[in-house]
Amino acid sequence: MADYNPQVIEKKWQAYWEQNQIFNAKVDKSKPKFYSLDMFPYPSGAGLHVGHPLGYIASDIITRYKRLQGFNVLHPMGYDSFGLPAEQYAIQTGQHPAITTEENIKRYTEQLKNIGFAFDWEKEVRTSDPAYYRWTQWIFMQLFNSYYDKSEDKAKGIGALIEHFEKSGNAGINAVCDEDTPEFNSEDWENFSPKQKQEILLKYRLTFLAETTVNWCAALGTVLSNDEVKDGFSERGGHPVERKKMMQWSMRITAYADRLLRGLDTVEWTEPIKEMQRNWIGKSKGAEMVFEVKGHDKQIKVFTTRIDTIYGVTYLALAPEHDFVQDLITEDQRKTAEAYVEVAKNRSERDRMTDVKTISGAFTGSYAINPFNGEEIQVWIADYVLAGYGTGAVMAVPAHDERDYNFAKHFGLEIRQVIEGSMEEGSFPGKGGIIMNSDFLSGLEMQAAMDKAIEFVEARKIGKGKIQFRMRDAIFTRQRYWGEPLPVYFKDGLPYLIEEKDLPLVLPEVDKYLPTEDGEPPLARAKDWNYKTTEGEFPLERSTMPGWAGSSWYFLRYMDPKNEDKFVDQEIAKYWGAVDLYIGGAEHATGHLLYSRFWTKFLFDLGVIDIEEPFQKMINQGMIQGRSNFVYRVKGTNKFVSLGLKDQYETSAMHVDVNIVHNDQLNLDKFKSWRPDLADAEFILEDGKYHCGSEVEKMSKSKYNVVNPDDIIERYGADTLRLYEMFLGPLEQFKPWNTNGIDGVSKFLKKLWKLYHNNAGEVSISNDAPSKDELKTLHKTIKKTEEDLENYSFNTSVASFMICVNELTAIKCNKRAILEPLAVLVSPYAPHIAEELWALLGNTDSIIKASFPEFKEEYLVENSHEYPVSINGKMRTKLSLSLSLTKEEIEKAALEDETVQKWLEGNVPKKMIVVPGKIVNIVI
């Protein structure tokens, strides 16, 4: 073989890897393990574009490197194959989403294989496969059968709870449950009907059915979770979303709030992602206390983080949705207050969000009593108070809270300062200040005042210290077809689990994928969607699970994907443990990454796995943006003018397919055949070339800027694609895709190839001992590659390969002792060419079985250094000096230098800084 021919060698090695099962991972306790995971893709109909494989290439390089270091590597790939696009397509065409999904997966797999990833395809999972989702359903059943014991701070089987109820009711049980759970004793429990018992238990189960205010998206016909809604519109499709009360399954993720928070300290993720999760969980310490209402037997419960400012409270504010609102409105206020509630309630979430500046509210006419000083304060309704957070009521302290301040100003309510400081600039939080005007709290600092105030309310049994979380329980149902059915049936309106032996509960056939006429989810269309028990037939749940169900535990299934008896074998799970490196986008920060941590902790509590955190180390790759090209049509003609000349004409810009543009130069022939109307296009060129304009936009079909990896591979080869994606810049950075530099890495591979061949194109390797220079070049590169891989700095190691090959080419090196380790060094990045060169060197086994070359410092030891000599910090000359010189000797040599003499002009330097082995700086 003469020339480097990527098309031939890449196919050859891909086939070799597959046939020889090179990447098949098996438990091997004699080797250290390394579990590398990529966020698995949703197989969309559009196929892969060049942005998708970016993270996969990075993780592939790491796993190949780890293999060379002797690790036993698990590096799987699979598909998150339930999802909206396939279902929308099914609604439009009537084709079963499973068919579309299957086709898309086939295409994705083909594309991924083309890039030469070292995936263990034996381990592939698909969330929409019944063999997979039977275990998703199984985990759901475990959640249903569990409650959260706060004393032990872990989930436990519901059986233990029932036992406790039988013994002593729910007194003394420290478990997470619904707010409205009644108190009962053992006798009550005994007397409850089975139905009542179920109702009670549902208030404790980790997954439960309850009426919740949900984000309802009418266009998609389903509810969405908070992280699927952006600014009042659905993230997918951008349809309007409204708030609606519905019966939904929820996951009691809030039970894990504190552990999810604490666990963040044990994982190596980037700080921004951890911070996002912390904010999302939103832990705040404060107190809960009640205010009596004058003339009512009602008590308004508020949550506050600043009970130290209790003497500054001048009014209470209730959310418009608060249960007491109707009762507290007095006759004389009825008209205005009710009108306000009506408006406020109907304002959509979106209106409230876009219009946060407008202050609105209404006085109820009722008065509450501040238990600290017996003062009567007005009770207002205000839409700045959210029904869903805390108690839906706040004690307003206008002097020390900005929103309360603005509200008080607007309605002319009293503002009473209780912390020392200046009110000139409006309210101030005054954290750490001294309390004033506050009776027995005056003179204290914030924390001391809070402690004392909490003592006060606790002594009177009107409140207590409390920790509040912002995070809500996660809604777990979608009114869609293409998702996991819930293993639940209904008897007397109450949910029961189907039996484990009946798993998987397979998605039924339906005639249409739309909701029914009366708004029931698509599964209501299925015939016989019932569960048969000895007592009869009962209807099955018609909603399905949300997209995040399957992805919350997939990393476990990869370890043991074909296991029919368990979701994963415990011994195998123990061996692979947590994911050592997780690569994916940052967009899952508060969704997937939180939910899978939750399920992992739950499974840990269950005792079926040994890890509490699924993803030990994570890096987030930056998205690849599109880079569009433009041509400029002279108005009213079929003439196109090059970018530099377009201002001389009246033109309109037109997107042009980036695939017929190279280095921003338009391929005229391809342009003419691009569309029929362009066949007779004329051009006004610059230097015989047509230069296109460019802009960074989202990668999308309509902008003609989608680049398919297959096209790049066809033209340059997969190794070039891999190298180029890495060479583009740091992995985490967002960057537009443009092919302008790709020739550089392609040339590099050709040069690399040539090192192993003579001018006649024959393999030519010398077995002579390498020279000092050759060894230096090699070891410099080993060192740099190793460091870069440890830091995930892939772009710089590609540059160091280029330097290495340039240097070896310059000295015409063809020594085996250099070229053999070089092939290994390059192999994680460009595995195909490396395998081929490895074989040409006479090796018979895959290069993956080789060892990463050992770096030897001795080859880099220098005995002289080229000192930059600076005058006043500016480099003026260089001086090559022996490294054995002392400071004084260096100083002397520098002063003798001609250039230095010139700058000194005969004067004595004010100061001299000499850092041996680094620099010389002379201050004059």
Q: Could you say which residues in the range 364-393 bind RNA, by CB under 7 A?
A: 383-386, 388-392
Nearer to RNA, 383 or 710 (CB): 383
Which residues does the annotation place in the binding site for ATP? 701
Contact segment (CB under 7 A) with RNA among 198-206, 274-282, 642-650, 756-764 equals 274-282
Residues 6+ apart with CB under 8 A from 855: 779, 782, 783, 786
DSSP E strand boundaries for 225-374: 229-230, 233-234, 242-251, 283-293, 299-304, 315-318, 361-369
Among positions 851, 866, 887, 901, the unique one binding RNA when judged by CB under 7 A = 866
Q: Could you say which residues in the range 761-820 bind RNA, by CB under 7 A?
A: 783-784, 787, 793, 795-796, 798-799, 802-803, 806
Among positions 262, 294, 682, 734, the unique one binding RNA when judged by CB under 7 A = 734
SS3 state at 890: helix
Nearer to RNA, 40 or 716 (CB): 716
DSSP E strand boundaries for 33-92: 33-38, 72-74
Task: Give yes or no for residue 13 binding RNA (CB under 7 A).
Answer: no
Nearer to RNA, 62 or 319 (CB): 319
Nearer to RNA, 371 or 730 (CB): 730
Among positions 343, 811, 875, 883, the unique one binding RNA when judged by CB under 7 A = 875
- The CB-of-750 to RNA minimum distance in angstroms stands at 6
Task: Provide the 10 A C-beta neighbour count for residue 168.
Answer: 13
Task: Give yes or no for residue 921 binding RNA (CB under 7 A).
Answer: yes
Q: Could you say which residues in the range 589-608 bind RNA, by CB under 7 A?
A: 589-590
With tokens 């029904």, the residue in question is 387
Reading phi first (left if > 0) and then psi (alpha if -120 to 50, else beta), residue 786 is in alpha
Q: Which residue, 72, 6, 68, 53, is CA-closest to 718?
A: 6
Take residue 754 and report the two structure tokens written for it: 């040539």
- Amino acid identity of 822? L
List C-alpha distances in Å: 261 to 264, 280, 611, 614. 6, 10, 16, 14
Task: Give yes or no for residue 645 binding RNA (CB under 7 A).
Answer: no
Task: Give yes or no for residue 346 binding RNA (CB under 7 A).
Answer: no
Give the contact letters, 537-576, x = binds to RNA (CB under 7 A), - = no.
----------------------------------------
- The CB-of-385 to RNA minimum distance in angstroms stands at 4
Q: Which residue, 372, 402, 376, 374, is CA-closest to 315?
A: 376
Task: Give yes or no for residue 197 binding RNA (CB under 7 A).
Answer: no
Nearer to RNA, 516 or 796 (CB): 796
**Termini Cα distance of the chain:** 64
Task: Give yes or no for residue 394 binding RNA (CB under 7 A).
Answer: yes
Instruction: Indicate the helix (H) or strand (E) that contains 321.
Output: none
Nearer to RNA, 361 or 487 (CB): 361
Contact segment (CB under 7 A) with RNA among 64-72, 365-373, 586-594, 823-831 equals 586-594
Helices (H), 311-411: 325-328, 334-346, 349-354, 402-411
Task: Give yes or no for residue 219 binding RNA (CB under 7 A).
Answer: no
Task: Give yes or no for residue 745 binding RNA (CB under 7 A).
Answer: yes
Distance CA 540, CA 553 (A): 24
Among positions 873, 882, 886, 901, the unique one binding RNA when judged by CB under 7 A = 873
Q: Are 299 and 427 in contact (CB under 8 A)?
A: no
Nearer to RNA, 4 or 119 (CB): 4
Q: Are 430 and 419 in contact (CB under 8 A)?
A: yes
Q: Are 72 and 28 in contact (CB under 8 A)?
A: yes
Q: Are 625 and 698 in contact (CB under 8 A)?
A: yes
Nearer to RNA, 130 or 465 (CB): 465
Among positions 416, 470, 670, 703, the unique one binding RNA when judged by CB under 7 A = 470
Among positions 44, 69, 196, 226, the unique one binding RNA when judged by CB under 7 A = 226
- The CB-of-303 to RNA minimum distance in angstroms stands at 5
Backbone angles phi, psi at 234, to 5 degrees: -70, 140
Distance CA 692, CA 690 (A): 6
Q: Which residue, 302, 268, 277, is CA-closest to 372?
A: 302
Q: By rule CB under 7 A, what count of residues binds RNA?
A: 87
Give the contact letters, 664-703, x = binds to RNA (CB under 7 A), - = no.
-x---------------------x----------------
Give the contact letters, 816-855, x = binds to RNA (CB under 7 A), - = no.
----------------------------------------
* Cα torsion 522, 526, 528, 531: sign: negative
Among positions 50, 73, 175, 319, the unique one binding RNA when judged by CB under 7 A = 319
Angle (CA) 54 59 65, round 5°: 130
Task: Provide the 10 A C-beta neighbour count for residue 851.
Answer: 11
Among positions 98, 909, 913, 916, the unique one binding RNA when judged by CB under 7 A = 913
Task: Give yes or no for residue 897 binding RNA (CB under 7 A).
Answer: no
